[in-house]
Amino acid sequence: HGFTILGTLLLLTGFILRHTGLTWELLNPIRGLKPLEFVDGVEVHRIPVLRQKQEYCSTYEMGTFVMSAWWYSLFHVREFKPDIVHVFFGIPDGPIGWALKRLYGLPYLISLRGADVPSDEVKRFAKHYKVLRPLVRWLWHDADAVVAVSNGLREFAFQTTPDLPIEVIPNAIELSVFTPPLHRQSEGPVRLIFVGRFNNFKNVEMLVETACLLEEKGVDNFELYLVGDGERRPKVERVTAEKGLTRRVHLLGWLDRTELVEQYRQADIFVSATTWEGMPNTVLEGMACGLPVVSTRASGLEELVREGINGYLVDINDVNALADRLANLINNRYERLRMSKESRKIAEQEFAWEYITEQYVEIYKRILNKPSTVNFAEKLPHESSIHKQV
């Protein structure tokens, strides 16, 4: 859980289950798994890539995926015969869509997910985007459609190309999987949960500092559970030990889906100190499981968290405000339960698969109905006319 590739697979699975007129093929680079398998109707091809860790991918490793996927696509596309290419992450994957469009006339759609949008907020790629920004701008204009997962992310994208029409389609959540418990526990410490990568912009160390500040404020009826891993984990462990919080802060690592859902159901509040997001899937999962959210006001969060309704947002890096908002909820069970119901309601009304699927399908239809679109069937004959995707 928590990896972009798995998130993409879940997205395509959601399409398959709700739109049988689409056939999907997914290329991804995870090592150690079968090179070809069908997962809930999605044909998954795993291509060779020099990636060592699932939770982290270096710039060099991204490059090996692009080269491997590019080479694989050039030949395999003749067998699969797609009608449209859906590129998740304009960088590093956009050039693959560009190549297939030039060679086979295939239209492509770019989904902007977060770190693929140039921004000073993503420190890791700041230097890269000083060089790559012109390429990013060119790819976005070349694509047949560009979609961002949140209004906040679209605003950042406009800083790169303000004249480009960018549509917004949020992430969706599997409401039948991520469900609230029948009854939340009323005894024992209040459980705070964070789920995500331990990287620079997730700012997980601030959550540990917040836990320390809560203790100083006399709030001690809580525990903090951190689900995930990444390059910042050693620092998180060090800060936890230095603050004397090893009995209050629990690092669980990555969990499988079943274990993760159970952790959500046992939790009382989802907490985040992130400085940058597209639209965080884990927050949406927590909401579907009936968790109020206390978070920093990063891009994408304002579309999930309604102030005072299903949670609170505070300024980025404001540890005092985060602690104060958490203290209010930790000490007020009635308010937690009220916000819990609101979180689930928002997830059901705005982020169900039925709504999100139709929005994407409409874009596919619009692209394929453009007079300039070349149908792959005209180049390479095939039996089926249903839409397909690489």
Question: What are the residues whose beta carbons fall under 8 Å from the beta carbon of 85, sequence distance 6 or more?
Answer: 96, 97, 100, 101, 106, 107, 108, 109, 389, 390
Q: In what order do the strands lie in the sheet with 167-168?
A: 85-88, 108-112, 145-148, 167-168
What pLDDT, on a 0 to 100 scale, did the predictor assign at position 226?
98
- Name residue 221's amino acid: N
Reply yes or no: is the peptide bond before residue 92 cis, omega within 30 of 0: yes
- Cα–Cα distance for residue pair 292/267, rounded to 1 Å: 10
- CATH tag, 190-350: 3.40.50.2000
- Cα–Cα distance for residue pair 327/143, rounded to 1 Å: 47
- Cα–Cα distance for residue pair 225/248, rounded to 1 Å: 8
pTM for the full model? 0.83
What pLDDT, on a 0 to 100 scale, did the predictor assign at position 361?
87
Q: What is the CA radius of gyration of the chain?
A: 22
- Cα–Cα distance for residue pair 311/263, rounded to 1 Å: 19
Q: C-alpha dihedral over 278, 279, 281, 283, to 10 degrees?
A: 120
Q: Which fold has domain 4-172+352-389?
A: Rossmann fold (3.40.50)
Specify the DSSP element, H or E, that contains 349: helix 333-350
Report strand pairing: 387-389 vs 269-272. unpaired
Vertex 232: Cα angle to 9 and 303 (nearest 5): 50
Task: Show me where the domains of the chain are located.
Answer: 4-172+352-389, 190-350
- Per-residue pLDDT tens digits of the chain, which is 390 residues long: 233 444 455 555 555 555 555 565 556 555 556 666 666 666 777 766 666 555 556 665 666 777 777 778 877 788 878 889 999 888 888 988 999 999 999 999 999 988 888 876 666 666 776 778 888 899 999 999 999 999 999 999 999 999 999 999 999 999 999 999 988 877 899 999 999 999 888 999 999 999 999 999 999 999 999 999 999 999 999 999 999 999 999 999 999 999 999 999 999 999 999 998 989 999 999 999 999 999 999 989 999 999 999 999 999 999 999 999 999 999 999 999 999 999 999 999 999 988 888 898 899 999 999 876 555 545 443 433 333 344
